[in-house]
Amino acid sequence: MFIDVSKCTGCYSCFLACKDEYCGNDYPGYSASQPSTGHYWMRLVEKERGTYPKVKLDYVPTPCMQCREASCIKSSKNGSVYRRSDGIVIIDPEKAKGQKEIVSSCPYRVIYWNEEKGVPQKCTFCAHLLDEGWKEPRCVETCPTGALVFGDMNDPESGLSKLRSSQDVEILHPEYELNPGVCYVGLPKRFIAGEVILGNQPDECAEGISVTLVSETGMQNGKTDHYGDFEFEGLESNKDFVVKIEHEGYSPREFSVKTRTDINLGEILLESV
């Protein structure tokens, strides 16, 4: 699965489609029915960034990562969690009964305990539907913005493979070293923003002012927008940057910042010379 975070609007259609497919429905060999509350097989992790008035909200859709080195498989007994030849990791709803320890074996925290049935459960990539000939799972089919894409990574001609090769994809928590089958673009990073005001025109929006971001790896040039605002997005965490604001006839300003968090430089006054 390929997930473009920049296209996710947080509408929760994927989450609801998953509930519709699994709540009250048993799929023997694939999954026991999902409880109506408490399980998030497709979880939308909300990431709020910045400080007022420069605030952003991103949603990171998070199903099971279908890891190639899955820790849930290693922790399970009796072959109750296994990886199919197509890469999908399945928790057998019969064999896994009573194995609550499987829930905590996943560092992505995408396995849930079904108290009523005494079984660990998670996203199955809708394997029962794929085995019936469906081309994609319910959550992917229902996403109105195309943020979720499903396909065969081993087929170089599949839409998924083409998307993967055309963009810089990332995985969640590479430090877990579980080699996930779910990849992302547009994961939230740090941003630096601010607003420029010209000292001798305080009631006008300072549009088109040159703003330059300098780091040890290079330089980005930008301009303030119609409102005098600027923003540099997609920056690495904990890196040093210098922001330079220059406009002919005004004294330049310069700020040294470190992206420990997102940074709002606030109102920046340029005085005329």
Closest to ligand SF4 by CB, 68 vs 258, is 68
Question: Residue 92, interface with ligand SF4 (CB under 6 A)?
Answer: no
CB of 48 to ligand SF4, least distance (A): 23
Q: Are 149 and 160 in contact, with CB atoms under 8 Å apart?
A: yes
What is the rounded distance in angstroms from the CA atom of residue 234 to the CA atom of residue 22? 36
Q: Which listed residue (124, 224, 259, 264) binds ligand SF4 by CB under 6 A?
A: 124
70 sits near ligand SF4 (criterion: CB under 6 A): yes
Strand partners, 136: none
Nearest to 7 by CA among 136, 146, 141, 159: 146
> Is residue 93 a contact point for ligand SF4 (CB under 6 A)?
no
Note whether 8 binds ligand SF4 by CB under 6 A: no
> Would strands 229-235 and 190-198 be described as parallel, antiparallel, or unpaired?
antiparallel
Structure tokens at 220: 């980005």
Return the residues of window 47-66 that contact ligand SF4 according to CB under 6 A: 63-66
Instruction: For the segment 165-224, give every residue that binds ligand SF4 (CB under 6 A).
Output: 178
With helix as H, strand as E and coil as C, how does 181-241 read?
A: CCEEECCCCEEEEEEEEECCCCCCCCCCCEEEEEECCEEEEEECCCCCEEEEEEECCCCEE
Part of the chain binding ligand SF4 (CB under 6 A), chosen from 14-22, 45-53, 246-254, 262-270: 14-22
State the amino acid at position 221 in one-letter form. Answer: N
- Shortest CB 42 distance to ligand SF4, Å: 3
DSSP state for residue 21 in the 8-state scheme: H
Q: Which stretch binds ligand SF4 (CB under 6 A): 16-24, 92-100, 188-196, 226-234?
A: 16-24
Token look-up 């975070």 returns 5
User: Which one-letter amino acid corresponds to residue 270?
Assistant: L
Query: Nearer to ligand SF4 by C-beta: 26 or 254?
Result: 26
Among the listed residues 128, 138, 164, 190, the single contact to ligand SF4 using CB under 6 A = 138
Residue closer to ligand SF4, measured from CB, 29 or 208: 29
The nearest distance, CB 187 to ligand SF4, in angstroms, is 16
What secondary structure does DSSP assign to 134-169, as a single string?
Answer: -SS-HHHHH-TT--EE---TT-TTSHHHHHHHHS--
Name every residue whose Cβ is closer than 8 Å to that of residue 68 and which is 6 or more positions away in sequence. 83, 87, 178, 179, 180, 181
CB of 158 to ligand SF4, least distance (A): 17
**Which 251-270 positions form the footprint of ligand SF4 (CB under 6 A)?**
none
Closest contact distance (angstroms) between CB of 265 and ligand SF4 is 38
* Contact set with ligand SF4 (CB under 6 A): 17-18, 21, 41-42, 63-67, 70-72, 89, 106, 108, 110-111, 122-126, 137-139, 178
